[in-house]
């Protein structure tokens, strides 16, 4: 079996062609150039030198994370593009698994560490265990053992875990020079560092491990592949913090909101409304349709119908990552204000009997339970709790 292997998840960019039990070619660069500049030229130069047609590879093995957000995206995009063009499957190989696998045969604790900033590392804990020997006992083979799966963790917590094992530890990866002094201060067990020729990512290890994973059925289409980040990027963390502290704002829904609401419907409900149904609701004169935003993004929505002096909430929802941040309360408060202005005396709704969080929210907003509608909901079958709230006049 022949695979093209790619790893740009860290400071090092590395590509290889691995065939069964040998490395045909490997090209590794650890230099201050962006991987977007180097990766494709490296692949092109490597296959040209060994006169290999990429259409002859059986799969593309890619270090899928954790690691640098930018590096992972570049490697993933490159692998996906080649996979789609060549119609080849992708094998997702965790970066730290491949780093550890390059230490084949080491029976010590193997701890690859990649710098994740803020005194954190991407890591895992591994070792090799003797698997079999010939009758005369001279030939050894090893099984790769994962003692602790890949994780993002503080250096202090990693040190604590390694001390518990009580065994000698070998470190490798770009986190070593960054946290060498912290390791020296905290470790109570013997430890050492991998030599310079094997202390960074090697695409050959990604390829070798990728062949094993492929043979076990652990592969995917190019369209399915996604890198594994383990934690949010700094930009995502900053956005999440802004969203957490931002005040929800509610406005009347417009026709342009239909697609966004339909997308949220499909993410949140098994009986999702179509965009057409949402737009038809918007067009009805007796509907009240509200859109909530938080920090400039769609956060939730409410759809209600009015009849005489009552209005019934047909749908209220908040995107998962913004739940419990006041969005639903703000939607309900705005609906109540509109009802008061339009002389609507009562707001009705029904809620799944098992949805304790929603029932608690409605009770705090002033709703009371009126009765039960048995087996009203499907997928799963569940009773509906009928609730209402009297709108207090101004």
Reading the block at residue 89, the tokens are: 């499957």
pLDDT value at 115 more than 70: yes
| pLDDT for 104 | 94
| pLDDT for 12 | 93
pLDDT value at 232 more than 60: no
Q: Identify which of 326, 324, 298, 303 has the alpha carbon closest to the alpha carbon of residue 314.
A: 303
pLDDT value at 394 more than 90: no
**Range in 198-212, 224-238, 313-327 the model is least confident about:** 224-238
Q: Identify which of 27, 56, 32 has the alpha carbon closest to the alpha carbon of residue 43.
A: 27
pLDDT value at 238 more than 70: no
| pLDDT for 237 | 57
Q: Identify which of 10, 8, 27 has the alpha carbon closest to the alpha carbon of residue 18.
A: 27
Q: Hunting for tokens 């998840």 — which residue is that? A: 9
| pLDDT for 295 | 80
| pLDDT for 393 | 80
pTM of the model: 0.62
| pLDDT for 171 | 98
Separation of alpha carbons 80 and 88, rounded Å: 9
CA dihedral of 216, 71, 67, 2, whole degrees rounded to 10:
20
Average confidence score pLDDT of the chain: 91
The pLDDT confidence band at residue 69, using thresholds 50, 70 and 90, is confident
pLDDT value at 273 more than 60: yes
DSSP code per residue over 117-128: STTEEEEEEEEE
- Report how far apart the first and last C-alpha atoms of the chain are (Å, whole number): 77
The pLDDT confidence band at residue 132, using thresholds 50, 70 and 90, is low
- Type and span of the H or E element at 266: helix 258-268
pLDDT value at 233 more than 60: no
Q: What is the pLDDT of residues 71-112, one digit of tens each?
A: 999 999 999 999 999 999 999 999 999 999 999 999 999 999
CA neighbours closer than 13 Å in the CB half-sphere of residue 227: 28
Q: Hunting for tokens 């101004």 — which residue is that? A: 394
Strands of the 249-252 sheet, one edge to the other: 249-252, 287-294, 297-307, 310-318, 346-352, 382-390, 368-377
Task: Supply φ then ψ for residue 227, to 5 degrees.
Answer: -70, 160
pLDDT value at 178 more than 60: yes
| pLDDT for 241 | 67
Q: What is the pLDDT of residues 134-167, one digit of tens each?
A: 555 677 789 999 999 999 999 999 999 999 999 9
**Domains of the chain in sequence order:** 2-231 (3.30.420.40), 240-390 (3.40.630.30)
Q: What is the pLDDT of residues 6-54, one digit of tens each?
A: 999 998 999 999 999 999 999 999 887 788 889 999 999 999 999 999 9
Q: What is the pLDDT of residues 351-378, one digit of tens each?
A: 999 999 999 999 999 999 999 999 888 8
pLDDT value at 236 more than 60: no
CB 190 within 8 A of CB 162: no
Report H helices in 22-93.
Answer: 35-49, 69-86
- Mean of pLDDT values over 204-231: 92
Q: Identify which of 234, 197, 175, 216 has the alpha carbon closest to the alpha carbon of residue 92.
A: 216
């Amino acid at each position: 079996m022949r695979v093209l292997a790619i790893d740009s998840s860290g400071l090092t960019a590395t590509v290889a062609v691995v065939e069964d039990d040998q490395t045909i070619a490997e090209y590794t660069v650890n230099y201050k150039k962006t991987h977007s500049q180097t990766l494709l030229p490296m692949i092109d130069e490597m296959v040209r030198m060994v006169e290999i047609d990429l259409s002859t590879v059986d799969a593309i093995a890619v270090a899928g994370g954790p690691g640098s957000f930018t590096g992972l995206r570049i490697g993933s995009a490159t692998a996906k593009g080649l996979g789609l063009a060549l119609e080849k499957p992708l094998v997702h190989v965790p970066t730290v698994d491949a780093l550890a696998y390059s230490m084949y045969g080491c029976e010590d604790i193997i701890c690859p560490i990649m710098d994740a900033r803020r005194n954190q590392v991407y890591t895992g804990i591994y070792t090799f265990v003797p698997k079999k020997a010939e009758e005369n006992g001279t030939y050894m083979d090893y099984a790769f053992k994962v003692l602790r799966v890949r994780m993002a963790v503080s250096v202090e917590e990693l040190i604590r875990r390694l001390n518990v094992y009580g065994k000698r530890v070998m470190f490798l990866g770009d986190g070593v020079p960054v946290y060498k002094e912290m390791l020296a201060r905290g470790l109570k067990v013997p430890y050492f560092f991998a030599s310079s020729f094997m202390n960074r990512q090697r695409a050959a290890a990604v390829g070798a491990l990728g062949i094993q994973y492929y043979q076990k059925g652990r592969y995917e289409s190019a369209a399915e592949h996604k890198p594994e980040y383990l934690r949010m990027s700094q930009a995502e963390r900053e956005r999440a913090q802004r969203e957490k502290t931002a005040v929800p704002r509610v406005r009347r829904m417009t026709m342009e909101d239909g697609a966004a609401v339909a997308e949220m419907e499909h993410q949140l409900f098994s009986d999702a409304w179509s965009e057409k149904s949402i737009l038809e609701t918007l067009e009805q004169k007796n509907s009240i349709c509200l859109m909530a935003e938080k920090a400039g993004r769609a956060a939730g929505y409410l759809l209600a119908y009015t009849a005489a002096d009552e209005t019934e909430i047909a749908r209220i929802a908040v995107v998962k990552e913004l739940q419990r941040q006041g969005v639903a309360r703000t939607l309900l408060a705005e609906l109540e204000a509109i009802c008061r202005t339009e002389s609507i005396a009562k707001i009705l709704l029904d809620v799944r009997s098992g949805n304790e969080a929603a029932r608690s929210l409605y009770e705090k907003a002033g709703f009371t339970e009126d009765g039960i509608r048995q087996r009203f909901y499907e997928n799963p079958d569940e009773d509906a709790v009928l609730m209402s709230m009297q709108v207090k006049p101004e």
